[in-house]
Amino acid sequence: MAFLQFIRSKVSEVSSGVSQQQKITSGVLDQIKGYIPKVQSAWIGGDEKEFEADVMRKVVPAMMELIAAIGGINLNLNKATSVIDQADAKVKSLADELGDTFGKIVV
């Protein structure tokens, strides 16, 4: 029995949704990288290598930060769940001790 009210199924749903968003964002990054050669092949006037360098220098690191930030949500959800589980175990232990103490009282 859990002493603290914690809706684990809802947390699991959120975690699953966050993981899905992380995968989608990774897919977007892959698509962006896939467009680079296409854009370069259609580029007129030179500087197609500079375009690639700009994407790799600006867009890719920003997308990687976004992917890491989304992943951090689940990391922190897991930490919070662990803290709640530990607190619940501690409360149960204290309640059991209190029950044992009251059980020893003779009237």
Average pLDDT taken over every residue of the chain: 89
Residue of 9, 6, 23, 2 lying closest to 80 (CA atoms): 6
Distance set, CA 46 to CA 38, 51, 58, 86 (Å): 14, 10, 20, 61
Confidence of residue 1 (pLDDT cuts 50, 70, 90): low
| Ordered domains of the chain (ranges, CATH) | 8-103 (1.10.287)
Q: What is the mean pLDDT of residues 69-98?
A: 91
Token pair of 69 as six digits: 């930030």
| pLDDT of amino acid 2 | 53
Percent of the chain with pLDDT over 90: 64
CB 51 within 8 A of CB 43: yes
Residue of 1, 104, 19, 106 lying closest to 67 (CA atoms): 19
pLDDT in tens, 45-62: 888 899 999 999 999 999
Confidence of residue 31 (pLDDT cuts 50, 70, 90): very high
